[in-house]
Structure 1
Amino acid sequence: MVQLGCDALLPTLTFFTEELSFRIDAIFPADNPKTALISGYGLRLQLSAGVANATPRISLLCDDPATVDGGRRELTAPNGTVVRFVEADPAYRLPATVQALVVSRSGDATHWTVGRAGLRYRDLLPERHGGAFIASHIRILEGGEVPDYVHYHKVRFQMIFCRTGWVRVLYEGQGGPILLKAGDCVLQPPMIRHRVLESSAGAEVIEVGTPAEHITIAEHQLTLPSEDLPATHDFGGQRFVCHLAEAAPWKPWRLDGFEHQDTGIGAATDGLAGVRIVRPAGTGASTTRQQHESEFCFYFVLAGETDICYDDQRLHLGVDDSITLPTGQRYAFENASADFKLLEVTLPDAVALTATVD
């Protein structure tokens, strides 16, 4: 309960009940009211006459602030309290993409931070492409039950790739727990309710999403597992995908000398994004120099090693290194080891590539 002081009770009480539709829960004394208890917008207020007002500003959550008092975002009560209207369920905000070439190295100096539910996070894209994208290497230190809860995200795109170990998760409409092992991948469509149940000790995942800053909302109504939904069910314009690496075929990649597994995320997002696992089709594989015209192009080394050549640079990439390439950047993979394996994430899925010969 929040206390609001006022010189006289009636003007402030009338403001909250008539202009903002608060309801009166209690008022006393009857012959000369000095105190009123009112409620609305999920908030309880105590209005107290003859008390200094120590609450200069409050925010009220509502479905659509434009429908309150002619769309005014702020009102001032007779006691001087500024009442601000805030959208209770805002859509995500997508900043303009600011692309850059970003290399993230793994090693002893790698910095990990503590995030939600005690997970450790390694930031693979510190400048976040201007806030438009986030790429994280996430580690679960302790095995067993994960202190998570049913929640969902307001995102444009979000995928989870199981890097090492295993994770058991629940997703809305997908039946019982899903076991994700190393190499498996899920598309988490916008607003799908989910929960991490348990994991192996030291399990790691790679998460890529847009926008970088998005809202995570706890779900208190729906419990999981929930009633099964058809495979074509639409979650914010996307369909749930669970790619299981053991059952997925390998097919030629877009460039000679390599092959790939397609996770199906391109089809499930109607071309918004694509996620593939790439490996050499032979030894010492190299690609012709190429460039892409996409919004986002991210590579994470899952196994082995390779050189990536761009401009006049030759950069050696090893396990757990990543590189994000800006549109128009010409590059090539050279001298890939036989055990080399690469995670590729692009937006859009159909990368406009130009292969060139130096």
Structure 2
Amino acid sequence: MQTVVDCTDLDGELRFFVDRAGFRVHLVSPADDPRRVVVERNGSLIELRRGSEDHPVRVRIDGEPQDDEIVSPGGSIIELTSGSDAVDIPPNRPTLTVIEAVNGDFGTGRAGMQYRDLLPDRWGGRFIASHIRIDEEGDVADWVHFHRIRFQMIFVAAGWVDVVYEGQGEPFRMYPGDCVLQPPEIRHRVLRSSGGLEVIEIGCPAEHDTLADHELDLPTTRDEPDRSFSGQRFVRHVAEGSQPTSWIDPSLDVVDTGIGEATDGLAGAVVVSSASGPVGRPLSHDGEFALVVGLAGDAVLDLGERTVALAARTSVAIPPGTAWSWSEHGAGHRALVVTLPADGIRGC
């Protein structure tokens, strides 16, 4: 995935990115009269395109800071974050983890929100999955903040919540089935929620820093929907109007949230729902992580030596190489399926 910068002075922009911002040339096209140059630094790709107008962007990348911000001739802003803030990803220690809807107590976490742990052993500290709720409607005692993470997503299971994100326009309301990908270090704030709000939050690594930003006001004055945050784009998936397609298991339909594309395949999240009678097709994954969370209706997951009644808010974390199938699912069944990488699930 790469961020596109349209610029009137391609040569000047290229000199800035190479000489000042520490990028290196990755691609030039065409060679005899370059109109497109891709530069790279620490995995972040910027595509410079000659155009009739400047369309600057803001990009945050890992690297030793030179100033708080450096600005290109065309107005693009580069933020360099210290390499000392690199995210430490612990080794993966996967276990089959089933948390039924009635299991696990809620504890009070940040900003007064209540958290129920869906992955108590954290797979060695590599992943965290939480069922979060807010009981009473009203303003949330949150502040502008960001997370030093590799991956993080929020899925609304019940109620509604108002949120605002850096460079993503005015605050917006999320309803059941909606979700967001929160790329690394994007500034954001939870504003207000309904009573009975429930969200599912999944992140990597399990322990990560949450930092306040007391200088940035949200919403920001510039909208930057295509901005790259450490190689990821912000995603707002709206469930209403989303069209399902057929899935690996043909008895289930699927709605893709777009997280796979926005993370360049690092992670994916889909919502599956009953389409016909179950066929019990065996599935598996050979990636890092797979989590299934019941959203509505009833189903049964067959994991070989164990079967799990997948009611709403029951979660199953499935280790790589484990074969499983939906041996039963009734009308109205829906489930969230999150994997790393995005294309990790396959038919056996």
TM over 0.5: yes
1:270 aligns with 2:264: yes
Helix, strand or coil: the match of 1:335? strand
State the Cα distance separating 1:320 from its structure 2 match.
0.9
State the Cα distance separating 1:329 from its structure 2 match.
0.4
Partner of 1:155: 149
Asked if structure 2 preserves the Cα contact closer than 8 Å seen for 1:286 and 1:336, the reply is no
Partner of 2:338: 345
Partner of 1:224: 218
Partner of 2:321: 328
Of 188, 207, 210, 1:213 maps to: 207
CA distance in 2, matches of 1:312, 1:150: 46
Partner of 2:299: 306
Asked if structure 2 preserves the Cα contact closer than 8 Å seen for 1:189 and 1:238, the reply is yes
CA distance in 2, matches of 1:204, 1:265: 20
Of 99, 110, 113, 1:104 maps to: 99
| Counterpart code for 1:301 | G
CA distance in 2, matches of 1:235, 1:90: 14
| Counterpart code for 1:317 | L
CA distance in 1, matches of 2:162, 2:226: 23
After the TM superposition, which residues 127-138 of structure 1 pair with which residues of structure 2 at under 5 Å, given as runs? 127-138=121-132
1:94 aligns with 2:84: no
Asked if structure 2 preserves the Cα contact closer than 8 Å seen for 1:92 and 1:215, the reply is no
| Counterpart code for 1:333 | W
1:279 aligns with 2:273: yes
Asked if structure 1 preserves the Cα contact closer than 8 Å seen for 2:268 and 2:340, the reply is yes
1:245 aligns with 2:239: yes
CA distance in 2, matches of 1:201, 1:315: 30
Asked if structure 2 preserves the Cα contact closer than 8 Å seen for 1:276 and 1:344, the reply is yes
* More off after superposition, 203-212 vs 330-339: 330-339
Percent identical: 45
After the TM superposition, which residues 55-204 of structure 1 pair with which residues of structure 2 at under 5 Å, given as runs? 90-107=85-102, 109-204=103-198
Q: How many aligned residue pairs are there? A: 269
Helix, strand or coil: the match of 2:324? strand
Asked if structure 2 preserves the Cα contact closer than 8 Å seen for 1:133 and 1:208, the reply is yes
| Counterpart code for 1:341 | R
State the Cα distance separating 1:291 from its structure 2 match.
1.6
Asked if structure 2 preserves the Cα contact closer than 8 Å seen for 1:256 and 1:287, the reply is no
Higher relative contact order (CA 8 A, sep 6+): 2
Partner of 1:26: none
State the Cα distance separating 1:89 from its structure 2 match.
5.8
State the Cα distance separating 1:88 from its structure 2 match.
10
CA distance in 2, matches of 1:227, 1:142: 31
Asked if structure 1 preserves the Cα contact closer than 8 Å seen for 2:249 and 2:279, the reply is no
Of 284, 293, 306, 1:291 maps to: 284
Asked if structure 2 preserves the Cα contact closer than 8 Å seen for 1:303 and 1:340, the reply is yes
CA distance in 2, matches of 1:203, 1:315: 26
State the Cα distance separating 1:240 from its structure 2 match.
0.5
Deviations along 1:5-32, one digit per CA (max 9) or x if unpaired, are xxxxxxxxxxxxxxxxxxxxxxxxxxxx
Larger radius of gyration: 1
Deviations along 1:309-329, one digit per CA (max 9) or x if unpaired, are 122322222111010100000
| Counterpart code for 2:169 | G
Asked if structure 2 preserves the Cα contact closer than 8 Å seen for 1:272 and 1:349, the reply is yes
Deviations along 1:219-249, one digit per CA (max 9) or x if unpaired, are 0111100023332210111001000000211
With structure 2 as the length reference, what TM-score do the two structures score?
A: 0.75
Q: Cα RMSD over matched residues?
A: 1.6
CA distance in 2, matches of 1:352, 1:255: 11
Unaligned stretches of 5+ in structure 1? 1-62, 65-86
